[in-house]
Amino acid sequence: MGYSKCIFGAMSNGNKRVVVVTGLMRSGTSAIMQCLQAAGIRCLGNAPGYEDPRTVDEGFLPTELMLDAQGGAVKILEPHCRFLPSGFEYVVIATVRDKRQQARSYLKMIKAVGNTTRMSDIKATRRLGRMLHAHQRRADAIIDMLDCSVYRISFENLVGNPRDALEPLAKELSLDMDRLSSPIRDRPAQCLKGLLEIELMNGSRTPTTPA
State residue 210's pLDDT score.
39
- Tell me, yes or no, whether 7 lies in a domain: no
Q: Dihedral, CA atoms, 155, 40, 65, 20, nearest 10 degrees? A: -30
* Predicted confidence band of residue 194 (pLDDT cuts 50, 70, 90): low
Sign of torsion, CA 57 63 64 67? positive
Split into its structural domains, the chain has a count of 1
In terms of Cα–Cα distance, which of 99, 93, 77, 129 is closest to 189? 99
State residue 189's pLDDT score.
87
| CATH code (residue 128) | 3.40.50.300
- Tell me, yes or no, whether 210 lies in a domain: no
State residue 68's pLDDT score.
97
- Tell me, yes or no, whether 141 lies in a domain: yes
Residues 122-135 have pLDDT tens digits of 899 999 999 999 99
State residue 211's pLDDT score.
38
- What pTM was estimated for this model as a whole? 0.85
- Tell me, yes or no, whether 174 lies in a domain: yes
More confident residue, 193 or 51: 51
State residue 202's pLDDT score.
47
State residue 206's pLDDT score.
41
Q: How far apart are CA 35 and CA 188, in angstroms?
A: 18
- Tell me, yes or no, whether 6 lies in a domain: no
State residue 16's pLDDT score.
84
Q: How far apart are CA 93 and CA 24, in angstroms?
A: 12
The answer on pLDDT for 165 being more than 50 is yes
- Tell me, yes or no, whether 3 lies in a domain: no
Query: Whole domain around residue 172: which residue ranges?
Result: 17-201
- Tell me, yes or no, whether 206 lies in a domain: no
Q: How far apart are CA 129 and CA 132, in angstroms?
A: 5
- Tell me, yes or no, whether 208 lies in a domain: no
Burial 98-134 (b: 16+ CB within 10 A, else e): bbebbbbbbbbeeeeeeeeeeeeeeebbeebbeebee
